[in-house]
């Protein structure tokens, strides 16, 4: 960055979906702000995840930004669930349209942040040795941006190409004629497996635990349909705002008022509808009532059996450790039919664990699999992991990673006690992990910008959450979480990740608020209207009540 100025009102970390919107709001509000982005360009998750099959599982027109009518009128979504290349083009278009690149610095990976109470400023250090200073920092680091690869013995011995899906190469990967192994069958694995199976010579899928999955039912969006969507954007975004999950789908109730035949007819219809209809437009009781969930789970299991030719393989693809919808639900296109192909083999590593990676493939307890490429679809250190990779030091040098080591505590996912002037878009215990992401981040970034304007108007230069209200919010998060059936499921909703120390079975981390996006929005709106109770605000020489 040479001799460029390095002191700002606000530093935003990350130029993904949330960082783009946050810098736009800050600039419009008159703040001297900059975005520090580790990658070479904008996009965040849509810049990084270039693997085949990567696309939205939210309807495209509900994922885009809602803040500009001109943008809504100009952009034509080509598919109901848009693929990664188009999503990246969309974000680039937004950045260029609103002239945001001049407020962004690329290739700037933040290594350390130190709060200086005497200055009331953050000192932000980069891996290249540069340092920047700001009164406020907004972390827009993304809840799913720290990939995890299990520490398999011999992982570095493999002589072929190997990469996590998050780090899929920018250059085209030659798959034709290759023997490919994919480790993992979560949301990412399900997408990439179905996409590459027709292209590769042999595909070996290493599955530890199957996930429920249902059809994406994607389709193109015609000019006529897009014109209709544009005419209904207000209605569409209002529906998203009113729903628990930020989608256009709303649940129905009265599971036990219907006969089994009537329920099955409803599910037959939902199964053919696009996106999360089978999840989010289903009976609300399936998330609360074990018998209701057991019945819908058996329905989805029957659907899987109908789509997989080999009954033994079908049973291996049906989860037995959790019910339908009780972990993050992947959406798929011909995923189950993939296992009917002659060139696809499913390896159950719960029965035959991976012993080691070799120079030429993967050794399990049942034998050796010769491979040319290994794809790690092994997930992420969700929500807190993207914060943990930065050494963030608050009051008296407290490390945020240490504060969150056992129990994550935040003030509505927006601030955290003992870390003054650090704000979070899509932070832990917000609704970013439980709702349609852009709908959550627009609300969060708007709230943060309003708070900073409130502070500027009053000469406030230090804002800190108090521990007591933070604990009260944790109690609310736990209450909302514990009423749902997924409260003990082995997924990132509960912080479960056997690839990370201390995150195995029997541990629970409350990562997100599951009380509903509309309830969360009202809660934080009420905080703002009441003058931000729970926050201590002060100038350099006096306390602001």
Three-state DSSP class for residue 375: strand
> How remote is the C-alpha of 159 from its chain's centroid?
32
pLDDT score, position 4: 59
Number of neighbours of residue 230 by Cβ within 10 angstroms: 16
The average pLDDT across 49-74 equals 97
- In this structure, of 302-316, 342-356, 420-434, the range with the lowest mean pLDDT score is 420-434
Q: Whole-angstrom distance between the N-terminal and C-terminal Cα of the chain?
A: 40
pLDDT score, position 489: 81
Predicted confidence band of residue 498 (pLDDT cuts 50, 70, 90): confident
Three-state DSSP class for residue 146: coil
180 vs 507, residue with greater confidence: 180
Predicted confidence band of residue 7 (pLDDT cuts 50, 70, 90): very high
pLDDT of 283 strictly over 50: yes
> Tens digits of per-residue pLDDT, 363-416?
999 999 999 999 999 999 989 999 999 999 999 999 999 999 989 999 999 999
The average pLDDT across 63-75 equals 97
**Which one, of 525, 434, 537, 421, lies nearest residue 477 by Cα?**
434
- Cα distances from 454 to residues 47, 355, 460, 532, 544, in angstroms, run 34, 57, 8, 10, 12
Predicted confidence band of residue 5 (pLDDT cuts 50, 70, 90): low
Predicted confidence band of residue 1 (pLDDT cuts 50, 70, 90): very low
Residues 6 or more apart whose Cβ sits within 8 Å of residue 140: 12, 13, 14, 15, 16, 18, 19, 22, 35, 425, 426, 441, 445
Tokens for 222? Answer: 């015609």
Phi, psi dihedrals of residue 6, rounded to the nearest 5°: -130, 25
pLDDT of 230 strictly over 80: yes
Percent of the chain whose predicted confidence (pLDDT) is above 70: 98
Contact, 293 vs 488, CB < 8 A? Answer: no
> How remote is the C-alpha of 261 from its chain's centroid?
36
Residue 137 parent element (H or E) = strand 131-139
Alpha helices in 36-183 (DSSP H): 45-48, 60-63, 69-74, 84-97
pLDDT of 56 strictly over 70: yes
pLDDT score, position 370: 98
Predicted confidence band of residue 2 (pLDDT cuts 50, 70, 90): very low
> Tens digits of per-residue pLDDT, 158-208?
999 999 999 999 999 999 999 999 999 999 999 999 999 999 999 999 999
- In this structure, of 277-281, 327-331, 419-423, 509-513, the range with the lowest mean pLDDT score is 509-513
Residue located via tokens 């994922």: 63
pLDDT of 3 strictly over 50: no
């Amino acid at each position: 960055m040479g001799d460029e100025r390095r002191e700002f009102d606000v530093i935003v970390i990350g130029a993904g979906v949330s960082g783009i919107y946050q810098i736009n709001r800050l600039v419009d509000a008159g703040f001297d702000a900059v975005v520090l982005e580790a990658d070479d360009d904008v996009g965040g998750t849509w810049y990084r995840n270039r693997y085949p099959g990567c696309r939205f599982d939210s309807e495209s027109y509900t994922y885009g930004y809602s803040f500009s009518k001109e943008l809504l009128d100009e952009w034509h979504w080509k598919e109901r669930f848009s693929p990664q290349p188009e999503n990246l083009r969309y974000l680039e278009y937004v950045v260029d349209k609103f002239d945001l690149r001049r407020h962004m610095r690329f290739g700037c990976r933040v290594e350390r942040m130190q709060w200086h109470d005497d200055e009331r400023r953050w000192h932000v250090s980069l891996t290249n040795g540069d340092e920047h200073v700001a009164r406020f920092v907004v972390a827009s680091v993304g809840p799913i941006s720290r990939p995890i690869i299990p520490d398999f013995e011999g992982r570095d011995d493999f002589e072929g190409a190997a990469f996590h899906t998050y780090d899929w190469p920018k250059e085209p990967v030659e798959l034709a004629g290759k023997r490919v192994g994919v480790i993992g069958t979560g949301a990412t694995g399900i997408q990439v497996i179905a996409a590459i199976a027709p292209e590769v010579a042999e595909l070996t899928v290493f599955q530890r635990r199957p996930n429920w999955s249902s059809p994406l039912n994607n389709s193109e969006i015609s000019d006529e349909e897009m014109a209709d969507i544009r005419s209904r954007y207000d209605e569409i975004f209002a529906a998203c705002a009113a729903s628990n999950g930020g989608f256009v789908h709303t649940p129905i109730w009265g599971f036990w008022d219907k006969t089994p035949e009537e329920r099955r007819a409803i599910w037959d219809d939902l199964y053919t509808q696009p996106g999360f209809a089978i999840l989010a437009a289903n009976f609300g009781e399936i998330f609360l009532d074990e018998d209701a969930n057991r019945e819908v789970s058996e329905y989805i299991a029957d659907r899987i059996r109908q789509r997989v030719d080999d009954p033994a393989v079908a049973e291996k693809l049906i989860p037995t450790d959790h019910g339908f919808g009780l972990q993050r639900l992947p959406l798929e296109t011909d995923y189950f039919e993939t296992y009917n192909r002659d060139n696809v083999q499913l390896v159950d590593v719960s029965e035959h664990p991976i012993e080691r990676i070799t120079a030429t493939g993967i050794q399990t307890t049942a034998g050796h699999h010769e491979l040319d490429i290994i794809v790690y679809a092994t997930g992420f250190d969700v929500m807190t992991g993207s914060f943990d990779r930065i050494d963030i030091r608050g009051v008296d040098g407290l490390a945020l990673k240490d504060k969150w080591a056992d129990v994550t505590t935040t003030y509505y996912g927006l601030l955290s006690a003992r870390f003054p002037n650090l704000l979070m878009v899509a932070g832990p215990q917000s609704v970013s992990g439980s709702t349609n992401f852009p709908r959550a981040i627009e609300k969060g970034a708007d709230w943060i910008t309003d708070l900073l304007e409130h502070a500027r108007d009053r000469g406030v230069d230090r804002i800190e959450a108090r521990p007591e209200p933070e604990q009260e919010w944790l109690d609310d998060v736990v209450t909302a979480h514990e009423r749902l059936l997924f409260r003990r499921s082995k997924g990132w909703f509960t912080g479960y990740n056997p690839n990370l120390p201390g995150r195995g079975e029997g541990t629970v981390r409350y990562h997100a608020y599951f009380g509903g996006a509309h309830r969360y929005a009202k809660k934080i709106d009420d905080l703002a209207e009441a003058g931000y109770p729970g926050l201590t605000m002060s100038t350099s020489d006096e306390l602001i009540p």
